[in-house]
A = this chain, B = another copy of it.
Amino acid sequence: MRNLLFEISYRGTRYCGYQVQKNGITVAQVLQDAVEQVFPRREPIVGCSRTDSGVHANQYFFHMLTDSSIPCERAVFALNRYLPEDVAVLSCREVPQGFHARYDCVGKEYLYKIWNMPYKHPFEADLSYHYPYRMRVEKMEKAARDFLGTHDFRAFCSAGADAESTVRTITGISVERDGGHVIIRVSGDGFLYNMVRIMVGTLLYVNYGMPDTESVADIIRSGERTRAGHTVPAHGLYLNRVFYDVEKWSDLAEM
């Protein structure tokens, strides 16, 4: 039995998220359909993460156990032939049988793309969030530092989450201007339901509306969802990088 790990990228616009579900087409479903064309059996695939409806992925992994002897390079080529234009397989490698795309994930980096010009971006209607008001990037970045470290993030979690613990560790966060865009980048060991989108909404609240007497640290401490900012739209959010423990799985070192 071989365990194949595939690296993919997708534009989430047309999809009801990654995970297979009843209402509407999902990324997992079109992947599973392509797998059925290329492999002898409809081998079940295991994704590294759930992403919400409309969320994009610059990098995403799934693994699959198979008896097939197809070379990795040919599997990439063949799957891409059967996938729609908004889902691409970037690479494939054989990993130890015990490796699990989700359970072995030790961290992720998301980025949130804001188009910060008075007019809408004609090429990015579904690829960035249009926020036409003045953004004080330095002020936002300074406030964002409160997110760093290990905290109970229950104030940054939408209802409907089924996580047992709401404690997470944020290892990096930055707010940067890049021409007409402002890019917010967040990495951590894991994220609650809608957590990144509420964090970004809170930084926009810092930008415009939060009283000077309040801080992001206060909101985290309060544990109250109503004190954090609103949930910004899904279409600005990208899963950007997925991290595995390269000491444990040394064959993943170059990822």
Residues of A within 8 A of B (CB): 9-11, 56, 76-77, 80, 85-90, 118-123, 125, 127
Identify which of A56, A90, A122, A125 gathers the most chain B CB atoms within 10 Å of its CB: A122
Known: A86-B125, A125-B85, A125-B86. A119 touches B56 (CB 8 A): no
Q: Flag if B76 contacts A119 (CB, 8 Å).
A: yes
Query: In the bound complex, what is the Cα–Cα distance between A93 and B119 (angstroms)?
Result: 16
A11 neighbours in B (Cβ, 8 Å): 122-123
Q: Flag if B86 contacts A122 (CB, 8 Å).
A: yes
Write 12 A-B pairs (CB below 8 A) sorted by A numbering: A9-B123, A56-B123, A77-B118, A80-B120, A85-B120, A85-B125, A87-B122, A88-B119, A88-B120, A88-B121, A89-B119, A90-B119
How far is the CB of A31 from the nearest CB of chain B, in Å? 12
Query: In the bound complex, what is the Cα–Cα distance between A56 and B119 (angstroms)?
Result: 17
A80 neighbours in B (Cβ, 8 Å): 119-120
Query: In the bound complex, what is the Cα–Cα distance between A126 and B9 (angstroms)?
Result: 16
Query: In the bound complex, what is the Cα–Cα distance between A121 and B125 (angstroms)?
Result: 17
Identify which of A10, A11, A119, A125 gathers the most chain B CB atoms within 10 Å of its CB: A119
